[in-house]
Structure 1
Amino acid sequence: MKVIGVIPARYGSTRFPGKPLARILNKPMIQHVYERVSQSEKLDGVIVATDHEEIKQVVEGFGGQVVMTRKDHETGSDRIAEVASKVDGDFFVNIQGDEPLIHHEIIDALISEAQEAPNAVVTAKTKIHSMEDVENPNVVKVITDHSKSALYFSRSPIPYNRSNQPFTYYKHLGIYGYPKQILNEFVKLPQSSLESAEMLEQLRLLENGYTVKVVETAYDAVGVDTPEDIEKVENILGGN
């Protein structure tokens, strides 16, 4: 199984235009992500998928691989699918380009799960430690069955804890691994009703009967959504 890691890096961002090029400790953010992802022992290649010439030049400048993609993709999955149509590979891992603290171990764990379940999409979850996050609609929750397959993803707390007994909630992390065939099928499907309601594209997979395996990890994503987040990431990288 040839596995390719793909990092979508779109220049346009409503809250933070040019985000992939933002400097973090004197390196562009996309370089931090690329170098961390490249530490994976199970990836056969790492590619930045971008729609912007300046990002392409920066990535090539630090020795990275780039594929230029269309500007009109609505989701990261659509951009990954375009890369899959141009690059030889059996399995593609969609890695967020705004997580400069990504751990390569979570990527390797996803690939190991994919080798055990070759006909499934794989993703990840981590424990939620505060009720504030449980109730925050920007923190997506996931529940799974005993075989680690996703039952549902939601912005609401799931399940509703009517019993008031202690319960562990899980946050869904936005990293996905797709077999090439499933990726190509997925992006051609129309938006599903649950997806439209929750604004979560992974629900399109569940509504159409695909299996989504969920790997548990201690890693919790620290994303850069606004310029103010740069200082937070620099403090973590600097050991503060």
Structure 2
Amino acid sequence: MSSCVIIPARYASSRFPGKPLAKIHGRPMILWVAELSAEAVGREHVYVATESELIAEVVISAGFNAIMTDPEALTGTDRVAEAAQKLDYDVFINVQGDEPIVRPEDIRRCIQIKLDHPYDIVCGYCWMNDKEDPTSVNVPKVVVNEADMMVYMSRLPVPGHKTKQSAPGKYAKQVCIYGFSRSDLAQYRAFGRKSYLESCEDIEILRYLELNLSIRMFETPSGSLAVDIPEDISAVEEAIFLR
């Protein structure tokens, strides 16, 4: 069964314009993500899906593949779904372009879980550490049941609690590595709009709940850091330095 990584990279980010080209230790962030993805699947199987000629030029000059996609794509997953139509693979791994310390072994694990559970959407998560703020709206928190299936994902701290004594001891957050089949992506794009929950939370995976598809979560080691705003870069640079 063949697999590839597609990295959605939008230049016109509302919170951080030009984010994929933001420099991390002097190198564009998108290339950090592409190189780590290449360690998992091979350079020839890594594609960057973008609306930006500038991003495409940077990617291609570094020896990676770029696929131009609709500037009006609703989400990164819609962009991945559009790119997937032009590719011939069995498993498509969506690695977000703002995950510059993604672990290649987690990408490989996502592929294997998708192969083992072909009818489930697959997504990573990890536990937040004491330095992370579960009330931050920049970090999607996830509720996973005892069978490792996603119950819900929110920008609020979930699960909630009625009393101080019943408060969760820790919170889980999304790690943006997703495993899809061609059919999964086609269904997502065919929905044609953002779902109600997806629009409220601004979390794209919630559209799959409206499609009544199961979302299987897999735990990764703590330490995942995404770049949502410019202030996040310093923490990522420190994490890279400490590796």
TM-score normalised to structure 1 length:
0.89
For residues 169-195 of structure 1, the C-alpha deviation after alignment (integer angstroms, 9 at most, x for no partner) is 211222211111011011221433322
Deviation at 1:135, TM superposition (A): 2.9
The aligned residue for residue 186 of structure 1 is 188
**Helix, strand or coil at the partner of 2:239:** helix
The aligned residue for residue 202 of structure 1 is 205
Q: Against the structure 1 CA distance between its residues 217 and 64, is the aligned structure 2 distance closer, same or farther, given a 3 Å change threshold?
A: same
Residues matched between the structures, number: 240
1:61 aligns with 2:75: no
1:12 aligns with 2:21: no
Residue identity in the other structure for 1:30: I
Instruction: Compare 56-65 and 40-49 and name the one that shifted more.
Output: 40-49
- Report the Cα distance in structure 1 between the residues aligned to 2:24 and 2:137, rounded to whole angstroms: 28
- Report the Cα distance in structure 2 between the residues aligned to 1:205 and 1:15, rounded to whole angstroms: 24
1:102 aligns with 2:102: yes
Residue identity in the other structure for 1:187: R
Select the residue among 232, 235, 239 that pairs with 1:232.
235
1:70 aligns with 2:73: no
Q: Against the structure 1 CA distance between its residues 137 and 15, is the aligned structure 2 distance closer, same or farther, given a 3 Å change threshold?
A: closer
Deviation at 1:131, TM superposition (A): 9.1
Equivalent residues in 2 for 1:90-129 (5 A)? 90-129=90-129
- Report the Cα distance in structure 2 between the residues aligned to 1:130 and 1:238, rounded to whole angstroms: 20
TM-score normalised to structure 2 length:
0.88
Q: Against the structure 1 CA distance between its residues 27 and 6, is the aligned structure 2 distance closer, same or farther, given a 3 Å change threshold?
A: same
Select the residue among 171, 174, 183 that pairs with 2:173.
171
**Helix, strand or coil at the partner of 1:223:** coil
The aligned residue for residue 144 of structure 1 is 144
Equivalent residues in 2 for 1:9-88 (5 A)? 9-40=9-40, 45-88=45-88
For residues 145-191 of structure 1, the C-alpha deviation after alignment (integer angstroms, 9 at most, x for no partner) is 33211111122332223362464421122221111101101122143
Deviation at 1:124, TM superposition (A): 1.0
Deviation at 1:42, TM superposition (A): 8.4
Superposed CA RMSD in Å reads 2.4
Select the residue among 221, 224, 233 that pairs with 2:224.
221
- Structure 2: tracts of 5 or more residues without a match: none
- Structure 1: tracts of 5 or more residues without a match: none
Could you tell me whether the CA contact under 8 Å between 1:47 and 1:65 is conserved in 2? yes
Could you tell me whether the CA contact under 8 Å between 2:6 and 2:47 is conserved in 1? yes
Residue identity in the other structure for 1:51: E
Instruction: Compare 94-103 and 14-23 and name the one that shifted more.
Output: 14-23
Could you tell me whether the CA contact under 8 Å between 1:69 and 1:83 is conserved in 2? yes
- Report the Cα distance in structure 1 between the residues aligned to 2:233 and 2:159, rounded to whole angstroms: 34
- Report the Cα distance in structure 1 between the residues aligned to 2:197 and 2:100, rounded to whole angstroms: 31
Residue identity in the other structure for 2:216: K
Could you tell me whether the CA contact under 8 Å between 2:120 and 2:214 is conserved in 1? yes
